[in-house]
A = this chain, B = another copy of it.
Amino acid sequence: MARIKIDKNSSRKEVIVSKAAGLFRERGFKAASMRDLAESVGVEAASLYNHIKSKTELLHEICFGVANRFMHKMDEVESSSIPAIEKVEELIRFHIDEMINHYEEVYVSDREWKHLSDPYLSNFQTQRRMYRKRFAAIIEAGIRNKEIKNIDAPTAVLILLHAIGGIESWHRSTQKINASNLTDNMITILVGGLELK
């Protein structure tokens, strides 16, 4: 009888969520079936329901797990007393880091949150909107302090966040430059584009 293998620090549910993230990333939430997931976990589809409530719950777990990490970082950065441009850089570095090290989850959270259902959906959207507002506020502070070019802050945020999403392509490319080189290049372009010199 097949059994889901676990290591000491992760429950069976966590194993399933992790495998689900990989599958949702690869095929999209709708196209990835519970039977696919079961196979990738090494068990029959029905058995998954001993550990999870529904397919959607898997998406909740993934999306809010990611969202919480970003919110946490935002709290930390916001309350630190460094120049605005450095706050921006630290946030960008965190985004890049997350995208590199928790690729599947972050990607899914970014692209598949539409398939959440209420009340989770509106909850997620609100959190996302809040995050961007706070990010924009930092940029606006930087503009007032003449650290950052006089640009539309929400537009800047939107560019930054989506640009970082581009790491997806890096992940799949065959000739990758290494992660720290990638980070440096991104910082150069993005922070360089904002900075008022």
Asked if A158 and B166 sit within 8 Å, CB to CB, the answer is yes
Asked if A186 and B159 sit within 8 Å, CB to CB, the answer is yes
Task: List A residues 141-163 near B (Cβ within 8 Å).
Answer: 149, 151-152, 154-156, 158-163
Asked if A82 CB lies within 8 Å of chain B CBs, one says: no
Please tell me which stretch of A37-45, A72-80, A188-196 contacts chain B, meaning at least 4 of its Cβ atoms lie within 8 angstroms of it.
A188-196
**Given the known A-B contacts A30-B30, A114-B27, are A188 and B149 also in contact in the complex, defined by CB atoms under 8 Å?**
yes
Interface size on A, residues (CB 8 A): 41
Asked if A173 CB lies within 8 Å of chain B CBs, one says: yes
Tell me what chain A mostly uses at the interface: helix, strand, loop, or mixed: helix
Chain B residues near A158 (CB, 8 Å)? Answer: 166-167, 169-170
Flag A16-37 by CB within 8 Å of B: 1 or 0 each: 0000000000011011000000
Please tell me which stretch of A5-13, A46-54, A177-185 contacts chain B, meaning at least 4 of its Cβ atoms lie within 8 angstroms of it.
A177-185
- What is the CB-to-nearest-CB distance from A121 to chain B, in angstroms, rounded to a whole number? 13
Asked if B181 and A152 sit within 8 Å, CB to CB, the answer is yes
Asked if A69 CB lies within 8 Å of chain B CBs, one says: no
The residues of A with any CB-CB pair to B shorter than 8 Å are: 27-28, 30-31, 111, 114-115, 149, 151-152, 154-156, 158-170, 173, 175, 177, 181-182, 185-186, 188-194, 197
User: With contacts A30-B31, A149-B188 known, what are 11 further pairs, Cβ within 8 A?
Assistant: A28-B28, A154-B173, A154-B175, A155-B170, A156-B185, A159-B163, A160-B163, A162-B165, A162-B169, A163-B163, A189-B190
Q: Sample 10 A-B pairs with CB under 8 A, ordered by A number.
A: A27-B114, A154-B177, A159-B163, A159-B189, A159-B190, A162-B162, A162-B163, A162-B165, A163-B166, A189-B194
